[in-house]
Structure 1
């Protein structure tokens, strides 16, 4: 009994002893659990603070690097502006304006045979914001006749079209975008986006658990991923901060960031960031981000001008820009677009009638043949060099820079077409030809177009600026300008010797220049010698006025490299490029005034404030009266001289120009101008081989093709002070009365034009007095 009783006691003690550690274990586990939870919460809090700092830096600093935007010139319209009716309409089409019967909204125009009614878009001009404006532009045979603002019927002194966005200089990650605030994004785009991608956007707190569960069930049922549960905020977090890696850790981080973003920022800020960040497709090696750039990429116009159907297609592309590529898979893209439209109709965002009209619309894509990014290697090289010279090497790395240039997109297009087509045609007789071409604006000194290769988009050796080749007879107008400046000794009818000549240098070497036809006329007038590009009379004239004087005239006109004062210089043994030739012919075209050619007109920083720029000086290189005589002579070159085929191609249009050919026909040159543009063109071989081309058969053919695409405006050549209509004896060049026999009319310098009171003896006074 005692033993049994003791056994029961021992058993109870043992039981107590056994149960005691069990209760202690739970307490230990509980203690460890809440401590671990505190650690996890602390770590999570610290991690969230870390994520919050990352998000704040992104959202409250510079959200994106915005590539530097390069713009063309802004076409100015004013009474007498050298812009034709057809050129203006081409410019509007290039800018994406829609032609309608009656313009009722921004981005539309109508046209008659002499007038264009336009509702211009608002845009940022270097001189300040330009508002939307409705105008009537009238044209006559000389260009613009008047510009009337229709709101108050006021005649405008000057009116600008917005420039063409030529390109964005993308650096770093290759992302390309145009920032557009939500205030400028149509409401239909936002409605379609939310109905399609995130209906509860304004209700959830960054994540939508119900949508995640629903998507998981659908995907499990389908056996593959067919539906996503991510909110717009989650998509933004992923696009901004994360990779496309598929992992649980990445999804958790995405969810945490979405919650923080939603807590920190308003729905409107989140929506604006999403609309400018969302990936919308690929343009070669450039990633298209944001609705603003996508609108230009797919439709070639601002997002505010898109139709309802086009807006729906933008929303449709978010699902998969590659899968729904509208050029490659138009049927898929249309089906997805129509789904967006149907959701908008069912959500009462559009009417049934709007849905039917939009769903029946074509996709309305831009012409894929016209590139979004202009390939302008020669011109962009010039722009970058000017920017480096003015602002240093780091400017283009800054975000949001806007660079306004002088490029005329239509002139560039015509130049590229002319070079490519003409060189291809010439190749049948002489393969391996290359070309360089520069076109400038006659009155502004801006570079309107540059082509540096027979393949204009080739980014390599730039023959518009980098070559140095003998310019041949293109130098001759400066020889004649030097002589005509000596008005008492020379006029356009002064006779020049055209007889065999031999010159000897200090080393005893001789040079016997010959005319191209190897013939001698004995004597020709100064005008005839220049018109027909005769060598021997030019050498005689140049030697008479002095080699140094001719070199000085050329350099004052803008030739920025040294000129060796040898007799052969008079026939073009001066090495230059099309850009250098364009510079000096720009001086001739602009009444003898020299100003350095330029490609950049203004630069705005990210806050749209202009960066300082020095204004290029303008000087008088050639007396305007003398320059007028040279201009007149150059019009005769086109009318009856070596460029007569050009004149015959454009009857009734006054053009000025000069052909040039180097020794052995290795280099073919042409320089000329109409009322609007100056052009300088070289054709040759990179190996300096013979081409078999004269200036008239090579380079001038390119200029003629250029004018075929860009109808020339006839030169006006208004009278200038110091020039009178002169009358000269055909043989002697002596000034005579207009009613005398055998006289030739030609402009003359008033100070040196002294015709005899009567017809009298036609010989010069010194011959009459001393005989001979």
Structure 2
């Protein structure tokens, strides 16, 4: 009998041992490999502050508010700032920048009417060449299990959270070996006495084992397996390693379809700020909610949630972790939740579609499935917010007479050369057809700056005062078909100065000019400026019979705004792997598409469009602010376009119908209305229009366009190319060759 029992015992021990070895392998693979699939994090651009930056005092305040910085009288820790009328004293958080880790730093930022005037580090009063704010975490791209988390090392978890967690969930955590038999017996007795489950006996290690490896199904087999795994985990790994895993694994709530896991993400989900900046009551709440994230949901049951938080605070006080005054102050404070209108992740379907496509093109489709990827984008959250509000407000008004109207909008960063904002539908959060990228519609008069740029590059033939024919014309192609372009008002003036034809968007003078300089040459200018699609060689192209999207228009106008320099618009600045190493990427070549001098003349002409041309209503809305713009309307008012820029942003907007129906809108009362609303939401920075080498302030006779002296009668002052500006002497006689040399 004893022999049989002994043999059976050996068999049981062998089976248990083998099973434990099997469990040990499972645990080792999890703990020593990739514990979690960390979703790819997508960040906005990092705001760069430097002397001369086109960023106003109010815009920086808005950015700090978005980032969750706290305004105080005197900053004493990271995440705080103070502000006067012309300065901001900021204690920046540490953060990971694509160029490396950025430390916490306190700076004084000063402003003038042009933007940032200086950035000084307060520790040594050194003037900084450039200073970055941390980017906004726009979203995490979830794949697979639907779990969302933000990993935070244990060393960065505030100690009160750890103290409260152990006091609340497992007081003997540092004494037991993974399982606490006394707690199990005590819980069983309490539950039997109550007649139902009111207390659990699981240790933190058991909870971790269940969360990592097991289901939530209640059974004796599962509990035994959980206990064995907890013992193995405790034997294999340090208490700190177990705590770190638990703090990043524990389920903390539900954000719609996403499960919120870990303290780091819970801090952002409930309070909208990093865990290191939470107050003591907020830290206590994170521990309190573990018991039942749904039951203690603070938005649904605030009194219940606060009572649970106060219980955790009481445990801290009883354990000597808090003084009585600290406890009383903590329980009297509100929960301090983030505002419900401040989302944890952004709805940016149009922009994210472009980001994903660019990632796929540059790195392949498998990139987003890798754990711990960090994607840094060009998106400006404040520009995006302003664009979305402009679209919603303006389209609501425009759609009163036509429910079928739609919109596409792209905003670029003039200096960085990236996409700052994008809206693809009149409902900005709608996942569907992205009109900012996918439409192909005639761009109308938006092509005219490239017609005039081509002409003005020939300074010996054309300047801003050159008279252009404004008479009815009929053109015939090789097949005998005719085309008779007309001015919008059906009126003609015999001849008009080039600048007037441009700012009034006159069709006939533009066609005459385009035919003189060559349709092919105009097409080449447009393509050099960044137009990727084919450009027709027909004369109708001169009036915008070229199909494009807001993104394509923004690319071409970005070139004009950037002193004629072409840079391919992108949505991504850098991608880091799980070790924070930058992934290599091929950069597109930059080139000078339009000479800076010629481009200056085009920019000047575009400012006149806003001052006294087809966009004069925009100029009246922003007196004293120099803006550049161009309206565009396709045949029968089917497409309303506007493209323009201030010192900081370029914008391209289309308003029309998906069925290509008539809208009754022109560029000036459709798309331009969206841009005007955008500038109302994001006050513009006046164009600086710095002097450019190769440009001189010239004087031209109003009727003939001939260069004259400044004291001659009937002259107008206009910028001109230096190399071709040869004013006549004494208001009539040309300068001699030696006079030209002396000049």
TM-score of the aligned structures, taking structure 1 as reference length: 0.94
Aligned counterparts of 1:580 and 1:377: Cα–Cα separation in 2: 19
Question: Match of 2:6?
Answer: 34
Is 1:493 matched with 2:465?
A: yes
2:621 — aligned with what? 649
Distance 1:505 1:517 in 2: 26
Correspondence 1:442 to 2:414: yes
Q: 1:295 — aligned with what?
A: 267
| 1:607 alignment partner in structure 2 | 579
Runs (5+) with no aligned partner, structure 2: 735-743
1:8-87 aligned within 5 A: 27=1, 30-87=2-59
Q: Are positions 1:402 and 2:374 aligned together?
A: yes
Query: How big is the shift at 1:657?
Result: 0.4
Deviation by residue 1:77-101 (Cα, 9 ceiling, x = unmatched):
0000011100101111111100111
Q: 1:673 aligns with which of 642, 645, 658?
A: 645
1:640-665 alpha-carbon deviations (Å, 9 max, x no partner): 00000000000000000000000000
Matched, 1:120 2:92: yes
CA offsets 1:38-68 (integer angstroms, 9 cap, x no match): 1111111110110010000000111111111
The reply on whether 1:528 has 2:500 as its aligned counterpart is: yes
Which residue matches 2:474? 502
Q: CA deviation at 1:459?
A: 1.2
Is 1:691 aligned with 2:646?
Answer: no
1:156 aligns with 2:128: yes
**CA shift at 1:391, angstroms?**
1.0
Match of 1:145 in 2: 117
1:617: Cα distance to partner? 1.6
Cα separation, 2, equivalents of 1:328 and 1:34: 59
Alignment of 1:196-345 (within 5 A): 196-345=168-317
SS at match of 1:318: helix
Residues in 2 aligned to 1:698 and 1:222: alpha-carbon distance in whole angstroms: 70
Provide structure 1 residue ranges, at least 5 long, that are not aligned to the other structure: 1-26, 763-772
Distance, in Å, in 2 between the alignment partners of 1:667 and 1:756 is 46
Q: Deviations over 1:186-206 (max 9, x none)?
A: 000000111111101001111
Alpha-carbon distance, 1:377 to partner: 1.0
Q: Given the alignment of the two structures, is residue 616 of structure 1 paired with residue 616 of structure 2, yes or no? A: no
CA distance in 2, matches of 1:407, 1:567: 38
Residue deviations 1:9-60 (CA, integer Å, cap 9, x gap): xxxxxxxxxxxxxxxxxx3xx3322222211111111101100100000001
Q: Deviations over 1:673-729 (max 9, x none)?
A: 000000000000011111110001010000000001101000001010110001111
Q: Does residue 1:429 correspond to 2:405, yes or no? A: no
TM superposition shift of 1:496? 0.5
Instruction: For residue 410 of structure 1, give the secondary structure of its aligned residue in structure 2.
Output: helix
> RMSD over aligned Cα, in angstroms?
0.9
Answer yes or no: is 1:111 the counterpart of 2:111: no
Matches within 5 A, 1:569-608: 569-608=541-580
TM-score scaled to structure 2, two decimals?
Answer: 0.98
1:459-485 per-residue CA deviation (whole Å, 9 max, x = no partner) reads 111000000000000000000001111
Deviations 1:615-640 (A, max 9, x none): 22210111111110000000000000
1: CA distance between counterparts of 2:719 and 2:423?
Answer: 36
In 1: Cα distance, 2:138 partner to 2:389 partner: 18
Whole-angstrom distance in 2 between the partners of 1:643 and 1:34: 98
SS at match of 1:639: helix
Tell me the secondary structure at the aligned position of residue 508 of structure 1.
coil
> Which residue number corresponds to residue 699 of structure 2?
727
Encode CA deviations 1:308-360: one digit per residue, 9 max, x unaligned.
00000100110110010111111111000000000000010111111111101
Question: Any idea what the Cα deviations from partners look like across 1:579-610, whole Å, max 9, x if unmatched?
Answer: 00000000000111101011111111101111
Q: What do the CA deviations read for 1:435-460 (whole angstroms, capped 9, x no partner)?
A: 00000010111110111111111111
SS of 1:657 mapped into structure 2: strand
Instruction: Determine the C-alpha separation between the residues in 1 that align with 2:316 and 2:343.
Output: 32
Matches of 2:343 and 2:443 in 1, distance apart? Answer: 35
Q: Does 1:636 align with 2:605?
A: no
2:342 to 370, 376, 400: 370
Deviates more, 1:428-437 or 1:336-345: 428-437
| C-alpha distance in 2 between matches for 1:383 and 1:431 | 30
Distance in 2 separating the partners of 1:296 and 1:90: 19
State how far apart, in whole Å, the 2-side matches of 1:326 and 1:739 are: 76
Shift of 1:761: 8.1
Cα deviation for residue 545 of structure 1 reads: 0.4
User: After TM superposition, which residue ranges in structure 1, 4 or more long, deviate above 4 angstroms?
Assistant: none
Count of residue correspondences: 734
After superposition, what is the alpha-carbon deviation per residue over 1:156-194, rounded to whole angstroms, capped at 9, x for unaligned? Answer: 010000000111111000001011011000000000111
1:461 paired to 2:429: no
Displacement of 1:247: 0.6
CA–CA separation in structure 2 for the residues paired with 1:222 and 1:616: 71
Equivalent position of 2:531 in the other structure: 559
Specify the alignment match of 1:7 in structure 2.
Answer: none
- Provide the C-alpha distance between the structure 2 equivalents of 1:758 and 1:500, rounded to a whole number of angstroms: 37
CA distance in structure 2 between the aligned counterparts of 1:704 and 1:163, rounded to whole angstroms: 27
Q: Counterpart in 2 of 1:751? A: 723
CA displacement at 1:614 relative to structure 2: 2.1
